[in-house]
Every structure is written in structure tokens, then in C-alpha cells.
Structure 1
Amino acid sequence: MNVGNVPCKKLHLDEYYELRQYLGAAYLATDSLDITANIPLSDEVFSDEKVQRITQICRNTICFANDLFSLGKEMAHSHLGAEFNLVTILVRERDLSIESAIYEAVAIHDQSVENFIKISEQIYRFDEKTNRLLEKYVAAMGFLMKGNIDWSTKDIIRYPHI
């Protein structure tokens, strides 16, 4: 596959999981919560393994939902055939029909939300003030995930097929 004159390799599912949060710019939303939601967490807190994990899950969950909402538009308008979309990667790697891959992508999205909830319950290991900020951080990420779905389903100009 080529983009312009630049060759691009097809992403494998494990690579997609690692890169998707950056391809969809969801990291900008989470990384700006310090300013946009007034959640000044320290580098020590952000470097905590579980805090990093829920942040990555949040980012990917936003992107997984977006892949589902944008699939039709991407396939119709992209000369790459929605190459960076969870559904099409599942079709290619697991030899699924589009319909089966959509169901699988929904299951992956939903499992990610469950993992976010489960892991977020385990991060309150700091002092009281920091734990309150973490509660606010987790809530803000929940709003980002829900807000993306609301925006995608209510802005009928962007995804008119919904």
C-alpha cells in the first residue's frame, strides 16, 4: 500500500492497539486535561502503571468508537479503504465478514470500557488530595469517551449514515 509516493505497511492488530491512540489524536484530549479540566496531577502520578493504562484505554476506546462510526464514510471516501480502522484490520487478520468484524469491534470497545472501569478502581493509592484529583481525572476521561459517542451520533453532518 502507498500513501502518495510513500509506502505504508499494513498494521497488525497489536500494532494498531499501540498506535491508534495517536493516529486519532485522542492523546491530545487526555493530555490537555491538566489545563482543560484543571487536573494538575504530578509526573509521579502520571507515570504510575495503572494511571498510564487507563489513559491508554480511554484513548483507544474513543478511537474504537470512532472507527465504528466512521467506517462507512472511510470506506466510501478513502483510496486506502479504511486501512487504519479496527473493523477492516479485523476483517483482514481474522478473515471475518464486515458484519462479523463490526460485532467484534463493538465487543473490543465494550471490553475496553469494562477494563477502564476495573483498572480505574485500583488507582487510588496516593494521598487524599491526589486521590480526589484522580477521581476527577477518571470522570473527565469518562466524559471524553461519552462525549465522543454523543458527538458522533448527534452531529449528523459528519456521519449522516447514523
Structure 2
Amino acid sequence: MSNALTSCVTIPGKSKINSCYQDTQNDTLKWVQKFDIAPKFKPLSWYSKARFGFQAAREYPDATYAQVSLAGDLLSWLFTVDDSCDRGSSDAVTALEMRRQLEIFISILDDKYIEDDHSLSIALKDILRRFSAISSPFLYRKYCMHMTDYLNECFFEIDMQIDGLMPSIDRYYKERPYTGFYIMFPLVAIFEKLNLPDEVYDHSSIQEIELILNLLGCLSNDLHSIVREAKLEKPGFNLIFIAQKELDLARDEAVQYVINEHRTHLRRFKQLRKELPYWGKAVNMQVDRYIQGLYTIVRGYDDWAVIDTGRYENI
């Protein structure tokens, strides 16, 4: 199955882009230089080509200039860490060094004092300071929790690569949601200044919607990146490879399996929206804004990856 076809697998609807997209892109490039992330970890050209500012503008099309710039800086940090973890999977010594740094990041998120002059640690503190200034205590804690979950999942992926292990389909569905989308979800409520009761965010129906949208993003990403990842020495954390091995499928069959999984989750999402509890008119109007914001993130990510950057077309 061609990459052109798998790139079309996304969720319905038209995406928008924030009018500040070019300024945001320029700001992300200045930010990675300010904290010596570029060229220490990647050359500036890498960040320029990745267009993380465009990604933020796709995911938060109605955010203010300051908000979308903060999202762009966060995305630049996350993808730098993700790339560092990939390189940390090359050998045991590098993996040990990366694990130590991940532990420091988690301590910072836990608000523990850490004396560390690592560029990514200093940049993380800058991001947290800016989020703390605009977030309610509840949403800030939720954001930090998702960041910590992501970093813990990085340990899993490093071990998976070092040990040459292929996880099961069940393990995929347990671990894959922690790889990034969750982090971006609280930003919807923070940026839109939603005033939802804490128990609404924690309600099982909202949490399942968050999980389903997260998985829709992950599954489409698996499909977008298959041609690129198939050329790598070690397969990535991709359900196509996992299903191919576990279910003894040909590559095209495994691709179709993931497309079918995507369709199943999309149907479940539509069903969940119809079955939402009624908390009152004012609350449910905000719930609708929140869910639409989450949906926009996933669709915006797809358009950034496929249209804006062609990120996964080749190595």
C-alpha cells in the first residue's frame, strides 16, 4: 500500500491554522537557540525543517500569539527529547546517560530542586514557569502528570530498542497513548480559560474520549510513518510492525489492520459524543469546546505531518 494512501488516513473535518503561524515558527527557532538546544542537540536547520511553530499553529488555531508560541516551544522540547531517546537506544552507555537525564526531568516536574545546567533542563523549567503562570492548579498538575507519563514511556521505548523486543498488541495499547498527545490536551482548557469542574475532567466518559482521540492520532501516525520506519535498522513503536509479527500478516494486511483499528476507534468516538452526561447547559457547552479542541489537535497534527512538512515521507 502506498504512503500516499496511508497519509490520507485521518479524522474528518477541515483544519485551520493560526494566523500567527509564521511569527510562531520564527519564535521557536529563537527559543531553541536561546537555550542552546540548537545546535547542541540538533542543527538549527533541523528545527527549521520540522516547523514546530506550524504544528502549534495547526493544533491551536484560535490561541493567542503568546499561547501558540508557548505551545511551539513545548513541541520543540518534546521532539528534541524524543530524538535524544532514539539516539539513546543505540547502545547501553548512551541509554544509561539518557535514563539519568529523564530522571532529572521527572524530578523537575515533581517540583524538586535540581542543580542541573543541562540545556534541556533549563528549557523545561522555562516552559513550566510559563504554564504555571496561566494555569489553574488542577490543570497545571494534570499537564505535569502527562509530561511525567511521557517521560516514563521513554524508558520503556529505550529498553525495547536496546533489548530488541517487539511488544504485543495489548502492550501497544497500554503504552502508546503516553507518547505525546496527552501532553497537549490540557492546553485546550488552559488557553481557552475553560471553567469546568475538576470532576468533569476526571469523568470516565471524558477520559475515554481523551484516550480514543489519543489513539486516533497514534494510529494515523503509524500509517503516515510506515515507509520511513520500514527503512530503519530497528522498527519503531508502530502497530503495523507489531500486528505483522503477532498476527502473522503480510505488510499490506497489517496496514489494513491498522486502518480498520482507526475506523473502529473513530466510530467509538462518535458514539461517546452522543452519550455524554448532562452536567447543565453552561458546563456542557464548555465540554463541547474542550472536546472540539482535542479533536483539532489530532487533526492539526496530521496536517502538519503530511501537508506542512511531509515529515514521514523518507528518512
Question: Under TM normalisation by the shorter chain, which class is it?
Answer: 0.7 to 0.9
| Structure 1 residue 132: Cα displacement | 0.5
Q: Distance in 2 between matches of 1:75 and 1:36?
A: 38
Larger deviation: 94-103 or 8-17? 8-17
Is the CA contact 2:227–2:313 (under 8 Å) kept in the aligned structure 1? no
Gap runs ≥5 in structure 1: none
CA RMSD of superposed structures (Å): 1.9
In the other structure, the counterpart of 2:196 is: 41
**Larger Cα-atom Rg:** 2
In the other structure, the counterpart of 1:61 is: 216
Post-superposition Cα deviations, 1:60-98, rounded to whole Å, max 9, x if no partner, equal 11111011001111222x33222x101111101111111
Q: TM-score, normalised by structure 2?
A: 0.47
Is the CA contact 1:37–1:140 (under 8 Å) kept in the aligned structure 2? no
- Equivalent pairs counted in the alignment come to 157
In the other structure, the counterpart of 2:233 is: 79
In the other structure, the counterpart of 2:177 is: 21
Is the CA contact 2:225–2:313 (under 8 Å) kept in the aligned structure 1? no
Q: TM-score, normalised by structure 1?
A: 0.87
Q: Structure 1 residues 40 and 87, CA, compared in 2 at 3 Å: closer, same or farther?
A: farther
Aligned-residue identity in percent: 24
Correspondence for 1:10 among 139, 146, 166: 166
Is the CA contact 2:241–2:254 (under 8 Å) kept in the aligned structure 1? yes
Superposed, which structure 2 residues align to 1:101-140 within 5 Å?
Answer: 101-140=254-293
Gap runs ≥5 in structure 2: 1-87, 96-158
Q: Distance in 1 between matches of 2:167 and 2:256?
A: 20
Is the CA contact 1:74–1:81 (under 8 Å) kept in the aligned structure 2? yes
Q: Distance in 2 between matches of 1:46 and 1:52?
A: 7
Give the match's secondary structure for 2:225: helix
Give the match's secondary structure for 1:32: helix
Give the structure, 1 or 2, with the largest relative contact order (CA under 8 Å, sep 6 or more).
Answer: 1
| Structure 1 residue 156: Cα displacement | 4.3
Instruction: In structure 2, give the amino acid aligned to 1:75.
Output: A
| Structure 1 residue 133: Cα displacement | 0.7
| Structure 1 residue 53: Cα displacement | 0.3
